[in-house]
Amino acid sequence: MVPNAAASGQLLSLDVIDGSDSIPAAKKLLKSRTGQTGISNWDASSIFFEMHGLDVDERPSPRTLVFLYAADMSFRLRWEIMPALQEGKCVVAVPYIETGFALGAIAGLPRKWLSEVFRFAPKAQETYRVNGPPSARIASPTTGFIEFCSSVMGQDLRPKFASYFDDLERRGRCRSL
């Protein structure tokens, strides 16, 4: 799916609880970088935008949502992230694969299965998270991936995602921004 060509740029991962924080947080992260930079945001392929508002009786399962997220990530890598990295740019992927792992963990999907689904994605050189206090209500389901999943699954998943990212930070696998 993703070319294995060596990239001279830098890939930064940024996972956020509230989607409205994603672009401001990515810009904040990029302020400390020199050279050309870029941001790759979720739903670049419009998979989730197209799904929003479908009038169907059956909701997609967490496994289906993980597959769709992986498909969107593959699109972002192919058309946004890898070309920018090959040009030597610093790119913030917001969110990146850890958000997919978080959804899978919340839904009880096997870690090995999730690793196989996301094996195509290169490891980020640095991983960050933004975990501000969630607003009282969920913004539009298309604001962010977590809002979309919360809407589709009929519950506010932000506290569960926050706990997942808290655990990652405790284990030294990401840093707060």
Q: Residue 31: which residues within 8 A CB-CB, separation 6 or more?
A: none
What's the confidence (pLDDT) of residue 5?
A: 46
Would you list the domain boundaries of the chain? 10-53+62-176
CB 38 within 8 A of CB 84: yes
* Partners of 38 in beta bridges: 91
The predicted pLDDT at position 2 comes to 46
Give the model's pLDDT for residue 16: 92
CATH of domain 10-53+62-176: 3.40.50.300
| Per-residue confidence (pLDDT) for residue 47, from 0 to 100 | 84
Q: Rounded distance, CA 106 to CA 62, Å?
A: 9
Quote the pLDDT of residue 89: 95
Q: In three state form, how does the secondary structure of the chain look?
A: CCCCCCCCCEEEEEEECCHHHHHHHHHHHHHCCCCCEEEEECCCCCHHHHHCCCCCCCCCCHHHHHHHHHHHHHHHHHHHHHHHHHCCCEEEEECCHHHHHHHHHHHCCCHHHHHHHCCCCCCCCEEEEECCCCCCCCCCCCCCHHHHHHHHHCCCCHHHHHHHHHHHHHCCCCEEC
Q: Which amino acid is at 120?
A: F
Residues of the chain falling short of pLDDT 70? 1-7, 52-57, 132-139, 141
How far apart CA 38 and CA 50 sit, in angstroms, is 25
Q: What is the pLDDT of residue 90?
A: 96
pLDDT of the residue at 59: 79
* pTM for this entry: 0.89
Q: State the pLDDT at residue 8.
A: 84
